[in-house]
């Protein structure tokens, strides 16, 4: 029997020592970001993404082993555990197989078979199932088992009871079930039909739709599921039942069985009444789970790319949340995101007060030295942008503008968190602030919004919400810890994603900061209520202190390695305070061969490399390598668009069937997967990611439906 370590070792192509080390670190209460960043010697440098997958697999395998123990104990208690059955259960590699093997021994609700067993008809069933010749007729044999009550008081009724038992025996057989499950996977078809073929809905392409289970793409599974949930579609699994029954007969009936006719009756009954409905449910569930798992992965990857977008530094912003009847809310922010001013302007219908809006923009630009105007992409965005562009063209100031995605802004602005942060502001002003800040620092602002609300997934509200939240929280945690967090400016929301810190501790950190002033030393974290030694070990390296007592506190060097960093600085004849002036260029040149030095200092080579890199670029932000934000895009209307036109755009969302690109219109254009590359790709994410700047060509437009078709392949 393979051990958990053997299985993970094989699946992840790791050594047994690596797997054991990771398991030990997880069991000791270390977080994934901490293990990935500060325990590279033990893991062999496994990154945070693989560590998460390993952790999930470890949990599954441990649950599998625990379930095996429960099942074996239950069957043994019934006195029915054989050596062969025990070996099969212990050898099972998936929970489904364990449950299949356990099925005959589970307590069932009353069934036709259980009723027949209670009447003493199981011996008759076993004789028939053994398929050995008998000296009498079958009815004569059955007469010996008939009872005095009305249910089985005739030989025919007793025989039928025995056949019911055999049908259940066939359906409970784990090997038959597994065979038919695989047979259905290979040969089954999803059948989707309209409940009302005359009704116009978004699901018309599925009104009479068939596709093989083995080939149907995940996004179509989710679309069909939604249509069924909304009562527009009837969905079933189609399979040639006669062929399936023939396959089952070959597995059950021996050549020249004396009970061939009766067994065929049982097998047909077992398949149609017991097996097929169960497998249909399984297939639908399996497809849904597969589609949801894939959608969650895509969503998580999109979220990761969105959070890693480059911050726009030194931007003093006028942020505008557009609208019609109630006007456009304006928030003015300094380069650190502090609110300087706010008001409401009315550039959109019904007032269309362009002059008044531009006067207010001019006032704020001069008063607060504004260099960027941000506009949300919601209702009224187009009209607002026209007024803003006209203002910029008339202005003598150096101002740029851009459109930002509003997804989730209203969720945040109306949240308890927003009301706690800015109790004196109304909901709409908070929303405008959020739009401006997500340009200045996307990560710090977007962590305040539930990840499922930031608009970079597909069918997110149809997915398993627990699994979605877990996956997205893991992604946010990974990104936050890769980037690092300023301990003295971070919100409680941002701090709660730092390794080892939960929501309560993050609030305690903010409270401690408010009561005692800014942190000047990482060690002060130990004074925060409920932040114990283990939490400190996990979080300390990810929390930065600018202008603190120890310059190393502004880097990702962990406090446990300060002595090594100090020795390196000493050998380079550099004082720790000199780090505040910038990094030590080509630091490794000053300290010789790293492998020799690592042995000398008693530190692992990966850790030493990380320390040297950090001394070269203290507190570096990996997001600075991301594409820059596109400013000052020309306004486009549907009338402006022409087939073949070349445009620059930003990828806003990546889904199974393509990518949505913002090209300066109110609505994003779609690049279908077939137009993303001139070579075959399985998924758009192989070519593009959220936040990418791309060149696209218009290949179609439908103004009535508000749709723009784009291509990433020139000449399409």
Summarised one tens digit per residue, pLDDT across range 102-134 is 999 998 889 999 999 999 999 999 999 999 988
CB 665 within 8 A of CB 636: yes
Angle CA 498–577–612, to nearest 5: 60
> What class, spelled out in words, does domain 317-440 have in CATH?
alpha beta
Question: Is 661:696 a contact under the CB 8 Å cutoff?
Answer: yes
Q: What is the mean pLDDT of residues 153-165?
A: 94
- Rounded CA separation 246/12 (Å): 40
pLDDT, the chain, mean: 91
Over residues 550-601, the pLDDT tens digits come to: 999 999 999 999 999 999 888 888 888 877 777 777 666 666 677 888 888 8
What is the DSSP code string of 491-505? -HHHHTTSTT--HHH
DSSP codes joined into one string, 14-78 = --HHHHHHHHHHHHTT--HHHHHHH-HHHHTS--HHHHHHHHHHHHHHHHHHHHHHHHHHHHHHT
Q: How confident is the model at residue 632 (pLDDT cuts 50, 70, 90)?
A: low
Residue 651 contacts residue 659 (beta carbons within 8 Å): yes
- pLDDT, residue 633, reads 59
* Residues 361-370, mean pLDDT to the nearest whole number: 96
User: Does residue 265 sit in helix, strand or coil?
Assistant: helix
Which tokens is 652 given? 């806003």
Which pLDDT score is estimated for 688?
92
Q: What does the alpha-carbon distance between residue 254 and residue 603 come to, in Å, rounded to a whole number? A: 69
- As given in the structure block, the two tokens for residue 286 are 């399996």
The pLDDT, as a whole number, for residue 699 is 93
What's the pLDDT at 588? Answer: 62
Q: Provide the angle, in degrees to the nearest 10, between the axes of the packed helices 48-77 and 95-102.
A: 10
Q: Which helix (H) or strand (E) holds 194?
A: strand 189-194
User: What is the arithmetic mean of pLDDT over 149-164?
Assistant: 91
C-alpha span between 1 and 82 (Å, rounded): 17
Q: Is the pLDDT higher at 631 or at 668?
A: 668
pLDDT score recorded for residue 616: 84
Neighbours of 210 (CB within 10 A): 12
Which class does domain 4-105 fall in?
A: mainly alpha
For residue 329, the tally of other CB atoms under 10 A from its CB is: 25
pLDDT digits (tens, 9 = 90+) for 51-103: 999 999 999 999 999 999 999 999 999 999 999 999 999 999 999 999 999 99
Q: Which residues contact 63 (CB under 8 A, 6 or more apart)?
A: 95
Name the token pair of 56.
């999930």
With a cut of 60, say whether residue 1 has pLDDT above it.
no
- Percent of the chain past pLDDT 70, that is, above it, reads 98
* CA-only gyration radius of the chain, Å: 33
Architecture in CATH for domain 512-625:
Orthogonal Bundle (1.10)
Domain ranges of the chain: 4-105, 112-298, 317-440, 512-625, 646-711
Q: For the segment 387-409, what is each residue's pLDDT rounded down to a tens digit?
A: 999 999 998 889 999 988 888 88
pLDDT tens readout for residues 682-695: 899 999 998 888 99
Q: What mean pLDDT do residues 449-459 have?
A: 79
Report d(CA 245, CA 322) in Å as an integer: 63
Q: How many residues does the chain have?
A: 716
User: What token pair was written down for 272?
Assistant: 């149609």
The CATH classification of domain 646-711, taken from the options 3.30.450.20, 2.40.30.20, 2.40.50.140, 3.30.70.890: 2.40.50.140
Grouping H, G, I as helix, E, B as strand and the rest as coil, residue 275 is: helix
Place of tokens 């990771």: 22
Asked if the model's pLDDT at residue 635 lies above 60, the reply is: no
User: Using CA atoms, how far apart are residues 303 and 457, in angstroms rounded to an integer?
Assistant: 8
What DSSP line would sit under 423-458, residue for residue? TTS-HHHHHHHHHHHHHH-HHHHHTTS-GGGSS-SS
Q: What pLDDT does 541 receive?
A: 96
Distance between CA atoms of 305 and 300, rounded to whole angstroms?
Answer: 9
384 phi and psi, to 5 degrees? -65, -40
CA-to-CA distance for 451 and 29, rounded, in angstroms?
Answer: 25
pLDDT tens digits, 263-314: 999 999 999 999 999 999 999 999 999 999 999 999 999 989 889 999 999 9
H helix intervals, 517-644: 533-539, 562-571, 588-591, 594-601, 605-616
Write out the two tokens for 563: 């002595």
CA pair distance 27, 618, nearest whole angstrom = 32
Whether the pLDDT of residue 449 is over 70: the answer is: yes
Could you give the CA distance from residue 471 to residue 518 in angstroms, rounded to a whole number? 33
Task: Please give the model's pTM, rounded to 2 decimal places.
Answer: 0.84
Q: For residue range 641-662, list pLDDT tens digits in order.
A: 889 888 888 898 999 999 999 8
With DSSP H G I counted as helix, E B as strand and the rest as coil, what are the percentages for the chain, rounded to 5? 55, 10, 35
Q: Residue 256: how many CB atoms within 10 A of its CB? A: 8
Q: Cis omega before residue 350 (within 30°)? A: yes
Is residue 661 classed as helix, strand or coil in its secondary structure? strand
Where would I find the H helices in 553-677? 562-571, 588-591, 594-601, 605-616
- Band of the pLDDT at 452, cuts 50, 70, 90? confident
Work out the number of other CB atoms within 10 angstroms of the CB of residue 175.
11
Superfamily of domain 112-298: Tex N-terminal region-like (1.10.3500.10)
Task: Name the region of 517 (left: φ>0; alpha: ψ -120 to 50; beta: rest).
Answer: left
């Amino acid at each position: 029997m393979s051990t958990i370590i053997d299985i993970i070792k094989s699946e992840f192509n790791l050594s047994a020592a690596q797997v054991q080390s990771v398991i030990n670190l997880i069991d000791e209460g270390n977080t994934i970001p901490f293990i990935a960043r500060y325990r590279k010697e033990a893991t062999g440098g496994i990154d945070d993404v693989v560590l998460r997958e390993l952790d999930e697999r470890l949990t599954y395998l441990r649950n599998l082993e625990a379930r095996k123990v429960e099942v074996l104990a239950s069957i043994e208690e019934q006195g029915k555990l054989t050596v062969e059955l025990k070996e099969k259960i212990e050898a099972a590699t998936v929970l489904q197989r364990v449950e299949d093997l356990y099925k005959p021994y589970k307590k069932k609700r009353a069934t036709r078979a259980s009723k027949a067993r209670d009447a003493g008809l199981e011996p008759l069933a076993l004789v028939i199932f053994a398929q050995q010749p008998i000296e009498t007729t079958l009815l004569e044999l059955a007469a010996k088992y008939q009872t005095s009550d009305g249910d089985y008081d005739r030989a025919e009724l007793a025989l039928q009871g025995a056949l019911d038992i055999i049908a259940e025996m066939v359906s409970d057989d784990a090997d038959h079930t597994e065979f038919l499950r695989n047979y259905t996977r290979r040969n089954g078809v999803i059948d989707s039909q309209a409940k009302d073929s005359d009704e116009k809905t978004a699901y018309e392409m599925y009104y009479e739709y068939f596709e093989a289970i083995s080939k149907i793409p995940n996004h179509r599974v989710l679309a069909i599921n939604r249509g069924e949930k909304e009562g527009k579609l009837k969905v079933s699994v189609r399979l040639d039942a006669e062929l399936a029954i023939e396959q089952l007969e070959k597995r059950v009936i021996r050549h020249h069985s004396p009970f061939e006719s009766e067994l065929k009756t049982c097998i047909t009954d077992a398949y149609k009444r017991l097996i097929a409905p169960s497998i249909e449910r399984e297939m639908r569930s399996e497809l849904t789970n597969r589609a949801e798992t894939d959608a969650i992965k895509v969503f998580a990857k999109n979220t990761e790319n969105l959070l890693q977008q480059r911050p726009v530094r030194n931007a003093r912003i006028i942020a505008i949340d557009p609208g019609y009847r109630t006007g456009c809310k304006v928030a003015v922010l300094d380069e650190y995101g502090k609110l300087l001013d706010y008001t409401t302007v009315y550039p959109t219908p019904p007032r269309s007060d362009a002059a008044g809006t531009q006067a207010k923009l001019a006032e704020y630009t001069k008063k607060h030295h504004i260099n960027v105007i941000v506009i949300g992409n919601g209702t009224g965005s187009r009209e607002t942008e026209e007024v803003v562009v006209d203002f910029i063209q008339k202005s003598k100031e150096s101002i740029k503008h851009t459109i930002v995605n509003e997804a989730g802004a209203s969720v945040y602005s109306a949240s308890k968190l927003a009301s706690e942060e800015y109790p004196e502001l109304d909901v709409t002003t908070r929303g405008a602030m959020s739009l401006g800040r997500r340009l200045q620092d996307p990560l710090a602002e977007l962590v305040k919004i539930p990840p499922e609300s930031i608009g970079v997934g597909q069918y997110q509200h149809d997915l398993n919400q627990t699994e979605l939240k877990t996956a997205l929280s893991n992604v946010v945690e990974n990104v936050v810890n890769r980037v690092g967090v300023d301990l003295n400016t971070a919100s409680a929301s941002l701090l709660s994603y730092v390794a080892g810190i939960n929501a309560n501790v993050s609030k305690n950190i903010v409270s401690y900061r408010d009561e005692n002033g800014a942190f000047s030393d990482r060690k002060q974290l130990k004074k925060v209520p409920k932040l114990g030694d283990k939490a400190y070990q996990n979080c300390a390296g990810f929390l930065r202190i600018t202008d603190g007592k120890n310059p190393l506190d502004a880097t990702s060097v962990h406090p446990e390695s300060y002595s090594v960093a100090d020795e390196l600085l000493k050998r380079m004849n550099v004082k720790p305070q000199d780090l505040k002036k910038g990094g030590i260029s080509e630091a490794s040149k000053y300290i010789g061969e790293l492998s020799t030095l690592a042995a000398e200092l008693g530190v692992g080579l990966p850790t030493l490399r990380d320390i040297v890199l950090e001394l070269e670029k203290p507190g570096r932000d990996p997001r600075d390598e991301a594409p820059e934000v596109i400013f000052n895009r020309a306004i486009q209307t549907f009338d402006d668009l022409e087939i073949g036109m070349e445009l620059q755009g930003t990828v806003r969302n990546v889904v199974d069937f393509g990518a949505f690109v913002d090209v300066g219109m109110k609505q994003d254009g779609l690049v279908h997967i077939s137009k993303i590359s001139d070579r075959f790709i399985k998924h758009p994410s192989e070519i593009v990611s959220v936040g990418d700047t791309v060149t696209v060509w218009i290949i179609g437009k439908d103004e009535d439906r508000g749709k723009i078709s784009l291509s990433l392949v020139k000449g399409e």
